[in-house]
Amino acid sequence: MTPIIKGLSRRGENFILVHAGQHYDYNLSLQFIDELNLPQPNYSFKLLNQNPASQTAEMMMKLEKIVLKSKTDLLLIQGDTNTTLAAALVGFKQKVPVAHIEAGLRSYDMRMQEEHNRRMIDHASKYLFAPTEISKENLLRENVWGEIHVTGNTVVDALTQYFHLVDKRGLVMEKVKFNDFALATVHRAENVDSPEVLQSIVDAFIDSPLPVVIPLHPRTRKKLKQFNLWEKISSCGSIQVLPPLGYLEFIYLMKKCKIILTDSGGLQEEATVPLIRKKVIVLRNSTERPEAVKAGFAKIAGLKKENILKCLNEALNDRTPLPKESPFGDGRASERIIKVILKEQRFNFLKS
């Protein structure tokens, strides 16, 4: 969302920035505001609830007060988090138009909370900013009532705009003890909440042909300890666990790594940006970013150790050059989005 914030600020437009508090870890949350030189939020929540249903309800109650107090004309939201769902429902109930950035993504995996969230958000939105034609087709098939605009994804904008700062975060490599390595992230509930799935992923990392560097999500660390897997992963000489990293440090590791293993959606997009151009092994049974698979950047490995290692070895041995352009846009998505929303008089911007 940073390119949207920056674009509105450059134009002198008034907007309210709400930090909804869904991520409670500093490195996963407020650090991004600091290092990307964003304005401090007008409102920032500290949530009492971590249960998804209670958390969403708490955010709705707090967001509703802001919407009513500020007489909001437009709610601008992004993604598929509980924050975004809470905002969309508040807008819908208070008859405030909702503009959804990253609309139309579908994994068709109903085990994912995000899949439920994004479907409800899209059907509550007046403006749907679809990153690709595939996303647009998904929305048309579902007969959404809002206006659909194909814009590209602001993820590409953000990485392109901030890449010149990445080398300044090269000190992170002093923490990494390997020259050649795979960069891995695991955080999705359907993966880390299952002891069988999490163990399969850990075993694949241990047997990886490349050393694995893992900036570890706090929730994943908690589950590794709960399922008696922490000692197994922390004592493995070919695995290095790092604390959560800031945006620029993480992009630097993406630039330096040989390949990426992840269950993240955003990383599948970032890896396709020309400044990165890395192959991604998707640690899931499906993806809402089929464009990355079609372009040759991503390969869906599933969740079994043998399949993960097979896909990893195949990708490392494949010398086919990757495309020079990203299937997720040309870095001008934010310009297209702002052009549409400037039809409205005021903005209420929400960040998860």
Separation of alpha carbons 246 and 218, rounded Å: 14
CB atoms within 10 A of CB 121: 27
Nearest in space to 269 (alpha carbons), one of 301, 300, 298: 298
Q: Which two tokens stand for residue 253?
A: 């590791």
Separation of alpha carbons 18 and 3, rounded Å: 16
User: Residue 322 in contact with residue 292, Cβ under 8 Å?
Assistant: no
Q: Which two tokens stand for residue 281?
A: 């092994």
User: Residue 351 in contact with residue 1, Cβ under 8 Å?
Assistant: yes
SS3 164: helix
Any catalytic annotation for residue 116?
no
Separation of alpha carbons 291 and 122, rounded Å: 20
Please provide the DSSP assignment of 180-199 as one string.
Answer: S-EEEE---HHHHT-HHHHH
**Pairing outcome for strands 239-242 and 147-150:** unpaired
Catalytic member of 19, 116, 123, 187:
187
Separation of alpha carbons 150 and 133, rounded Å: 7
| Residues known to be catalytic | 187
